Amino acid sequence: MHPIVIANWKMNPETFAEAKRLFESIKKTASTSKTVDIVITPPSVFLQGLASGYKGSLVRFGIQHARAENAGSYTGDISMIQAKNAGALYALIGHAERRYPKEGVGMTNEDARAQVRSALSLAMKPVLCVGEQSRDEHGGHLAYIKEQVDVALADVQKHQFKDIVIAYEPVWAIGAKEAMLPHDIHETTLYIRKVVADKFGSKPALSMPILYGGSVDDANARVVLREGTTQGLLVGRASLDSLTFAKLVIALKNL
């Protein structure tokens, strides 16, 4: 399995012209790094413009957030089916910045569950983002993650695991100075596999890619992937600078 790198641009860049420049550079990186699967989740207003002009297959697109309902009175929102029509194959679901927004009310595990169901019904690939807000020595964070996984995957059938990706992102490591220690990443992703195995059996649990996200950059990407034993990375800030992102992807070639 190739490592997956998801470039989560969040609410960047400011203009479509800049987004196109960044995409041009990522296309070049992708053409020299065919052993790494690259996915970009641009702001939704740029998605169609970027995806419709791209005839290649080395870069895939995703949506950062979309509602489960196909249509309706939800001012300012977009639906999963609209995202698919605009060119998204992947859907980030339950990113920390949607669960715990700086203002307003965040999405719940039940919202994530509906979005996973919606994405799968559209033959999209849900990237379920989970992670604790803080850790405690009694392991309360593990129960917290278990609940996130159990509820969001409650409607999934065993055979659908071939399309599911989990991104483990401890909230405290997002936008931070340093990533989580690889040993702790390893331990937590093992736990997530166990949660999935307990419910769905070991086959889906072992084959499902688990990514890590939270302060990954070109300097730590390789170690995080190898020693954290993850199958890919969800990258925020380091995906916005073309040179840094190119170095990050190159670091994952020939693992």
Total residues at interface with ligand PGA (CB under 6 A) = 13
Rule CB under 6 A: is residue 215 a binding residue for ligand PGA? Answer: yes
SS3 for 148? Answer: helix
Is the torsion defined by CA of 46, 247, 32, 90 positive or negative? negative
Cα(50)–Cα(19) distance, integer angstroms: 8
Residue 89 has φ and ψ, to the nearest 5°, of -100, -35
Rule CB under 6 A: is residue 175 a binding residue for ligand PGA? Answer: yes
Cα(126)–Cα(63) distance, integer angstroms: 10
Query: Among 32, 36, 43, which Cα is nearest to 6's?
Result: 36
* 95 assigned to active site: yes
SS3 for 92? Answer: strand
* 183 assigned to active site: no
Q: With CB under 6 A as the contact rule, which of the stretches 12-20, 168-176, 201-209, 245-253 interacts with ligand PGA?
A: 168-176
Which residue among 60, 169, 193, 228 contacts ligand PGA (CB under 6 A)? 169
Q: With CB under 6 A as the contact rule, which of the stretches 45-53, 116-124, 154-162, 208-216 interacts with ligand PGA?
A: 208-216
Cα(117)–Cα(63) distance, integer angstroms: 15
Q: Which of the following is catalytic: 132, 141, 169, 186? A: 169
Q: With CB under 6 A as the contact rule, which of the stretches 103-111, 112-120, 167-175, 200-208 interacts with ligand PGA?
A: 167-175
Q: Which of the following is catalytic: 95, 97, 132, 141? A: 95
Active-site residues, by number, are: 95, 169
Question: Rule CB under 6 A: which residues touch ligand PGA?
Answer: 8, 169, 174-175, 213-216, 234-238
